[in-house]
Structure 1
Amino acid sequence: MIEIWHNPRCSKSRQALALLSDSGAAFQERRYLDDAPTLQQIKHAHAALGRPPVAEMMRTGEKLFRELGLSKTDDDDILLQAMADHPILIERPLAISGRRAVIGRPPERVLELV
């Protein structure tokens, strides 16, 4: 089962969701702004992504990122906690299947989990 962290206001997220639906894959949509992932779930997603620099799974261009005084070079724990406290900072769409995950940029990347 694929879990996709989805924001319906995001065109890339909507495209990724449509691709999963069209593929016939079993998936569960999680509107992560309404149902925020815990710090532990974010850490699991980071591990499933292959432990890239944490900033790569963040929306660093988001106004809030700057307002919080965050930097791409901040300690991982600071950035992970920032995503737990402010899920708008999580890059979307993020699809997770067990121990594997991808960020759907471009949206077709979610098909790697099918």
Structure 2
Amino acid sequence: MYIDHVKNIKGIRLSAPGILNATKQTLIGPAHGWEGWVMRLFTLTAEGHTPRHSHPWPHINYIVSGKGTLFLNGTEQTVEAGSVAYVPGDAEHQFKNAGSEDFAFICIVPEEGDV
């Protein structure tokens, strides 16, 4: 069994080409007993974004707070708190903060996708 609170989970500031103002928290994964999967919380502050990229694994997303956009397969869609999305493997995608408040979303990937 594993129980914690997001406020107690250390965030890692992401720094790589194409990333701006992004933090990742690993909420649950193999280290907590969930073998094969990882649930992460990404927070993008004002003007923040993930890189436009693709990879072989799929992921599912739930928007926790704020407003943003999800570029997926050539189309940009508006997303906000309560939105859900499925990004198939090998699909080009990018999340961007579209507001002044934090844009946060849960992202669940297979373990090999937590890089």
Structure showing the higher helix proportion among its residues: 1
Q: Report the TM-score, using the length of structure 2 for normalisation.
A: 0.31
Q: Report the TM-score, using the length of structure 1 for normalisation.
A: 0.31
Structure showing the higher strand proportion among its residues: 2
